[in-house]
Amino acid sequence: MLGKNLKLYGISRQYLWLMMVGLSLGISSLILQAYLNQIAAADLPSQTRAMETSLLNTASGFRQVLRTLEDIDRQQRRQYQPSQQFQGRIIDGVQLPSSQKVIALTFDDGPWPQTTAKMLDILQAHDVNATFFVLGSNIIRFPDLLKRVAQDGHAIGNHTWSHHYRYHSPALAQREIQLTSQVIEKHTGFKTRLFRPPGGYLDNGLVAYARTQGQTTVMWTVDDTYSGTVEQAVNNVIQNATPGGIVLMHDGGGDRQLMIQALPHIITQLKQQGYQFVTVPQLLDMADKLEQ
């Protein structure tokens, strides 16, 4: 069951890709065989041109199919919405059997120059997808970084426009959240339904508004270390990791060199403990399937 759940948005696409690769190879083989059967009885130059044309048409059709599959996958991720049991709720992880050792890495306060790109490089090198809770005020300054977050296959959540902790009137909360959702969709096409309140404050009006919109407020089970040594930062995450847990880290909002250094070790040691990494949407989907 774990294997079926982990690649929620990719596994169907992978099977379809394999099928299309096989189909393409089969068609190409048939064309090539026909060419070999006719070559002795036909004019070589004209047959060669015909063969080249057939193969080019096959390759073009194959590429079109792959583009279609990519479009379907992107559309599925853009339209993701938490299931009914998570809409309007506050979560700080989900309950999973101990045998399902999955965990979600999340990053707050970006996108941010250099830091976000370095985090993305590390995640890419270790083949890990994560969830980024982004600020609207940073998106308009660094839109290309957010586009890369989306292109690399990471999930995206709303972290308000300006990251204030103070009380928000309903109108101000609406502005902070709606404007950020709009710029996320503008630059990535994703309609996020995930929200994380700045500082984890639950009673300053922001979460109340997010609840009215059916959004899932995503907290965490373990926070990152803002100071200290790399070893301390790594141990803090490793010692508090649990199946279905959510790890809070930061790629913006200050000097994040400590987490840049600690992240590769965190990923490696969690993998050594048998953990696999999922996005928050994947985590919620796994929990939802257990309730069915």
Instruction: List active site positions.
Output: 108, 250
Taking CA atoms, 288 is separated from 24, 86, 131, 273, in Å, by: 37, 9, 18, 25
Total residues belonging to the chain: 292
**φ, ψ for residue 278 (rounded to 5)?**
-135, 165
- What is the distance between the alpha carbons of residues 195 and 288, in angstroms, rounded to a whole number? 18
How many other CB atoms are found less than 10 A from the CB of residue 46? Answer: 9
CB–CB of 105/249 below 8 Å?
A: yes
Structure tokens at 197: 């309140």
**φ, ψ for residue 200 (rounded to 5)?**
75, 15
- Rounded to 5 degrees, what angle do the CA atoms 122, 125, 130 make? 60
Structure tokens at 286: 């796994």
- What is the distance between the alpha carbons of residues 127 and 271, in angstroms, rounded to a whole number? 11
Taking CA atoms, 194 is separated from 147, 157, 180, 246, 284, in Å, by: 18, 5, 12, 13, 11
- As beta bridge partners, residue 158 has 134, 195
Q: Pairing between strand 276-278 and 222-223?
A: unpaired
